[in-house]
Structure 1
Amino acid sequence: IFITTLVVLEHSFADNIYSAVMPQTVTALTGSCVQIPCTFNISNFEDKRKNATSINGIWLKNKSQFADKDSLIAFNSSKNIIRGFSDIQMTGDLTERNCTTVFYNIMMNHSDSYYFRLEMEPDCKCAKPHPKYSPQPPELKPNDLTVKEETTVTLSCSAEAPCPKQPPTISWSNISESAHITTQLQEKPDKTQSVFSYMTFKASYKDHRKSITCTATYPRNTSDASTVESTVMLQVLFPPKETRVIITSVGTTVTLTCESHASPSNDLNYTWYKHGEETPIAWGKKINLTGTQIQTGSYFCIAQNKHGKQSSEEYFSTLMSVMLYLLITCAYNL
């Protein structure tokens, strides 16, 4: 479960401008904490701060009005009031226009609208955040991954860290043994933090159509952790590999089939050659040979797509191969 959404309220009266800046969205897991980055701006703040007898931060729940103080106050820094939470700490320095606050042990019943209020005697300034709950899977980039064989690939996976003291851990699955992974906690432009993990590897044709998963695990003050994940399928472009000839026989007709792995495979072309001749004898995945043709020698195929070509690894003596095939078939039938 996550907590989200903060908005900015700005007022302007005559020469007085009051504003608070917070991220549009933050997330928090139940049983964990959430840090709300918060800054504010007040016209002539330095002069007002010097003249103020005190400067305090207050978080109100549900309503911005301050009439019913006791029922609405979740936190008051001046009176050490904390209601509805196990703990709330204002980590920002109000004298530096920083109202960043950490709410601990988030529960489902904390879903509500919250408003920040700055009190400077004799002045009072206010701003509004609106938290609510919403799960967020990690962001995996790029989300469309098509690369050529032997290309160095870098994937990034980021997961929000609403509680910097308990950031999520990121793990990767179904990746190459040679993959290099680095992970770090970073601050984003809106002052929220996320864990970024970067995974670098060299693409092999064996990685084609492999699903790579990034999993974010969030610790919390409960018996279980919470995990979310994102997956991307790797498409590797490569020339024909493992090209070979497969021999089958029906009656006096022998069929030679050219098999090869390639990507893309829908544009594979097959060319057949007879041993000792430079001119192709046929095109296509399969060729059929009659009994007379079988006695004439050996054949091989070449598979080709736009990324390259490969010949079958060795010549095949069709006469020897077919005789052995027929011998085994007859023995089996007997």
Structure 2
Amino acid sequence: MEEGKSRHASNGIRFPPSPRIEIPGDLKEKESVTISCSAPTPCPHSPPKLTWNLQQDPHNNREENTDQTFTTKIQKTITLSDTHDGLTISCSATYPVNEGRVKTAERKTLSVSYAPKNTSVSISPSGLVSAGSWVNLTCSSRAKPPPSFSWFKNSKDGALRVAEGDFYSFNVTSVTDGVYYCVATNDLGNQTSDNPEFGVDVYVTVKILGIITLYSTLIIFECWLRSRCCNKPVKDAGEEDYVNRVIEIQAT
């Protein structure tokens, strides 16, 4: 069916044409775009009433075309964000026909690209991690197109890239303790996750183990010294009296 021509039902009743929604292609967040809905206007003195879900009571403009036909149009300029992705726009045209009204409608769904959002890291196992344990990290992010992931570790020399991909697993040692994070990236930008808590926990665990070992060594050493002092041989009373008599004889 050619645009602008009326439709016919099976019973011969003539229906006016549906409105047409125009959306610019390649939609991206932070861009301002103008979306319009238009409908042919066979009778300029009785134009259709256009409404849609982008705004209430939009202003209807009547335009004359180069072929001397008329079109009724509504439009709205919006700044795109990730919340507009998947939004369905519905536009209706209500025509006055024979003292009644006939309503037609059109629907289109927006597809908006956006940079990574809500980037986060999940840890397994969670909580305190001890040396020798395996740690599994998973990075997730909401983005369009889907992002790629990179893993970094904070060190005294700065951030070090340690892996690629949404999953990272390693065995914890005194060398691997620290704070890890991921970065999600696509064509529109990147976002860094919050630092996971396990890096601090690993450090604290190793530190506590060192303190316990140190105190244990000191306690054992102290007990050994006490045992040496307390286990000196004690002379019996007879031996002590004999020594005293020898000393007295030598003195006289």
Q: Same fold (TM over 0.5)?
A: yes
Does the alignment pair 1:289 with 2:165?
Answer: no
Over 3 Å counting, the alpha-carbon distance change for 1:321 and 1:248 in structure 2 is farther
Q: Could you say if the C-alpha distance between residues 243 and 191 of structure 1 is closer, same or farther in structure 2, counting changes exceeding 3 Å?
A: same
CA distance in 1 between partners of 2:191 and 2:175 (Å) = 24
Alpha-carbon deviation of 1:285? 0.4
> Normalized against structure 2, the TM-score is what?
0.64
Matched residue type, 1:140:
I
TM-superposed CA distance for 1:222, in Å, is 5.5
Q: 1:192 pairs with 64, 69, 73, which one?
A: 69
CA RMSD of aligned residues (A): 3.6
Aligned equivalents of 1:294, 1:206: Cα separation in 2:
43
Distance 1:288 1:168 in 2: 63
2:143 to 262, 269, 287: 262
As a proportion of its length, which structure holds more helix?
2
Q: Which residue of 2 aligns with 1:158?
A: 38
The one-letter code matched in structure 2 to 1:214 is C
Name the % identity.
29
Tell me which residue corresponds to 2:106.
230
Give, as a single letter, the amino acid of the residue that structure 2 aligns with 1:198.
Q
Flag the 1:141–1:25 CA change in 2: closer, same or farther, 3 A. closer
The corresponding residue for 1:119 is none
Distance apart, 1:259 and its partner CA: 1.1
How many residue pairs are counted as aligned between the two chains? 194
**Shift in Å at residue 194 of structure 1?**
2.1
Q: Deviations over 1:81-132 (max 9, x none)?
A: xxxxxxxxxxxxxxxxxxxxxxxxxxx77x8xxxxxxxxxxxxxxxxxxxxx
Task: Please name the residue that 2:223 is paired with.
Answer: none
Distance 1:290 1:201 in 2: 50
1:316 maps to: 196
- Closer, same or farther: CA 139–194 of 1 in aligned 2, 3 Å: same
What is the aligned partner in structure 2 of residue 240 from structure 1? 116
Structure 1-normalised TM-score?
A: 0.49
Q: Which residue of 2 aligns with 1:249?
A: 125
Distance 1:228 1:293 in 2: 70
- Unaligned 5+ segments in structure 1 are 6-23, 31-107, 112-132, 323-334
1:266-316 deviation digits (Å, cap 9, x = unpaired): xx221111122422011100112335479712211011112211111x211
Matched to 2:183, the amino acid is: I
